[in-house]
C-alpha cells in the first residue's frame, strides 16, 4: 500500500495543475467567444482579454498572501454578494426568454407526472425529451414547486464555496472562489437555470466524503452506498467516476474485495430501484422511451460508452494517489466531452454545432468543479485537501 507520505515530483504535480487550470480557461473561452459574438464585433479581442485576466490571477495567486484571506467574514461576504447579484438577476432575466430549456425539462416532467402520465414522454417548451435519470428530478422538485429552478443552480455554488473553504488553504480557497465567480461559464449556468454544475458538485463532495467512510461500520457502509446509488440516478456520466474510484480502492487494497463488490452492487441496486415506479406503472412507455435511449440518440452510441467505462477502469489502475483521483475523474470527463463535441460537429458541421447550439456547452461544466479544486489544491500531500488532513479508508 502506498505510504501516506508519498508525494509526486513537484514538477509533475505543478504541470497537472497548470493543465487543469488551462482547461478551465478553455471552457470559459468557449463560452465567452460564443456569447460575445452575439453582441459585439470585438468578441475576439474581448475574449482574449478576459482569459488573460483569469491567467494573470492564477499566476499571481501564490505571490499574494493577505491576512484578509484568512477571514471567513471576507470569504463568505464575497459569496453573499455573488448570490445576491444572481437573486436580483432572476427577477430580470426570465427563463422563458432564454434559448435553454433545462428548467423546462424539469417543469414539464413533473407536470406530466402530476397528471398521471408517463413523465419521460414530456417535452420541454423547446420540444426536447428528458434525458436525466429519475433522482435528478426528485432533487429538483422542491425548486420546481417554488417556481425558480435557478435557486438549485445557485445552491450548487454555495455548496462548492463551502467545500473549497474547508478543503483548501485560506489563500487558495479565495483564489479558487475568485476564478469561480469570474467564470462566464458559471454565470451562464446560473442565469439560464441550467443544472449541470450542481449535479457535478454533489458528486465531487460525495467522493470526498467517501474518503472518511469506515467500510467496516455497517451503518456508514450502507448509507454511503445508498447515497451513491441516488446520486448515480441523476446523470450516467458519474458512473465513470465511480468506476475510477472503485478500481482504485481494489488496486490499493484499502477495502476488502468482497465488501467492495457488495458495496458496488448496493449502489447499482439503488439506482435500479429509482426506475421501479416507472416500470410498474408505465412499462410499455418505458420500453419505448427512457433516459438511456434518449441519451444514446442524442449523446453517445452504446459502444462508445463501453469504451469510456474501460478507460475509466484503466485510470483507476494507473492512479497512484488519492488526490490524483480528482485529476483522473476530470480527465475522463473532459475526454467524454471532447468526443461528444466531435460527434456533434460531425453531425451538424462546426458552425451549426457551436454557434447555433448543436452542441450543449453546459456539459463542459461536468468537469469544472473537479478541475477547479485540483488547480488550487496542494501538490505535496497525499490528501483530499491541502489543509493537511489525511483521508483514508479504515480497514
pLDDT for 294 equals 78
pLDDT for 324 equals 85
Instruction: List all residues 6 or more positions away from 261 whose beta carbon is below 8 Å from its beta carbon.
Output: none
Higher pLDDT residue, 95 or 353?
Answer: 353
Separation between Cα atoms, residue 130 and residue 138, nearest integer Å: 13
- Confidence tier at 384 by pLDDT (50, 70, 90): very low
Which strand (E) or helix (H) includes residue 308?
helix 302-318
* DSSP sequence for 139-190: HHHHHHHTT-THHHHHHHHHHHHHHHHHHS-HHHHHHHHHHHHH-HHHHHHH
Q: What angle do CA 232, 237, 274 make, to 5 degrees?
A: 25
pLDDT for 293 equals 83
pLDDT for 385 equals 41
All cell numbers assigned to 74: 471576507
pLDDT for 38 equals 87
Q: How many CB atoms lie within 10 A of CB 359?
A: 24
Higher pLDDT residue, 273 or 125?
Answer: 273
| Percent over 90 (pLDDT), the chain | 67
70-92 per-position pLDDT tens digit: 889 999 999 999 999 999 999 88
Q: Is the pLDDT of residue 64 over 60?
A: yes
Span 356-382, average pLDDT: 84
Q: Is the pLDDT of residue 7 over 80?
A: no
Residue 326 · residue 382 · CB < 8 Å: no
Average pLDDT value for the chain = 88
Separation between Cα atoms, residue 123 and residue 268, nearest integer Å: 28
Amino acid at each position: 500500500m502506498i505510504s501516506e507520505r508519498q508525494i509526486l515530483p513537484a514538477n509533475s504535480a505543478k504541470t497537472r495543475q497548470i493543465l487543469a487550470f488551462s482547461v478551465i480557461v478553455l471552457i470559459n473561452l468557449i463560452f465567452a467567444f460564443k456569447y460575445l459574438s452575439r453582441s459585439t464585433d470585438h468578441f475576439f479581442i474581448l475574449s482574449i482579454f478576459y482569459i488573460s485576466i483569469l491567467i494573470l490571477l492564477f499566476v499571481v495567486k501564490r505571490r499574494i498572501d493577505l491576512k484578509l484571506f484568512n477571514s471567513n467574514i471576507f470569504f463568505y461576504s464575497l459569496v453573499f454578494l455573488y448570490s445576491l447579484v444572481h437573486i436580483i438577476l432572476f427577477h430580470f432575466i426570465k427563463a422563458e426568454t432564454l434559448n435553454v430549456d433545462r428548467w423546462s425539462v424539469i417543469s414539464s416532467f413533473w407536470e406530466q407526472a402530476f397528471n398521471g402520465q408517463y413523465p419521460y414522454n414530456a417535452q420541454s417548451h423547446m420540444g426536447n425529451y428528458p434525458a436525466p435519470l429519475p433522482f435528478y428530478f426528485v432533487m429538483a422538485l422542491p425548486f420546481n414547486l417554488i417556481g425558480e429552478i435557478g435557486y438549485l443552480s445557485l445552491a450548487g455554488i454555495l455548496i462548492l464555496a463551502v467545500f473549497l473553504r474547508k478543503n483548501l488553504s485560506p489563500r487558495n480557497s479565495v483564489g479558487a472562489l475568485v476564478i469561480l465567480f469570474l467564470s462566464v461559464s458559471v454565470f451562464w449556468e446560473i442565469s439560464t437555470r441550467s443544472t449541470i454544475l450542481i449535479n457535478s458538485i454533489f458528486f465531487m463532495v460525495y467522493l470526498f466524503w467517501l474518503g472518511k467512510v469506515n467500510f467496516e461500520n455497517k451503518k456508514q457502509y450502507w448509507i454511503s452506498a445508498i447515497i451513491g446509488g441516488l446520486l448515480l440516478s441523476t446523470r450516467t456520466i458519474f458512473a465513470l467516476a465511480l468506476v475510477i474510484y472503485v478500481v482504485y480502492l481494489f488496486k490499493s487494497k484499502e477495502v476488502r474485495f468482497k465488501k467492495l463488490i457488495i458495496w458496488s452492487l448496493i449502489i447499482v441496486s439503488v439506482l435500479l430501484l429509482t426506475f421501479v415506479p416507472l416500470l410498474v406503472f408505465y412499462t410499455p412507455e418505458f420500453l419505448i422511451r427512457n433516459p438511456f435511449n434518449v441519451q444514446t440518440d442524442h449523446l453517445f452510441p452504446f459502444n462508445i460508452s463501453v469504451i469510456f467505462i474501460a478507460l475509466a477502469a484503466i485510470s483507476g489502475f494507473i492512479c497512484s494517489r488519492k488526490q490524483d483521483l480528482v485529476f483522473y475523474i476530470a480527465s475522463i470527463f473532459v475526454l467524454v466531452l471532447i468526443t461528444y463535441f466531435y460527434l456533434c460537429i460531425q453531425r451538424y458541421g462546426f458552425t451549426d454545432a457551436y454557434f447555433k447550439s448543436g452542441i450543449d456547452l453546459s456539459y463542459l461544466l461536468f468537469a469544472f468543479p473537479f478541475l477547479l479544486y485540483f488547480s488550487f489544491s496542494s501538490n505535496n500531500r497525499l490528501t483530499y485537501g491541502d489543509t493537511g488532513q489525511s483521508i483514508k479508508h479504515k480497514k
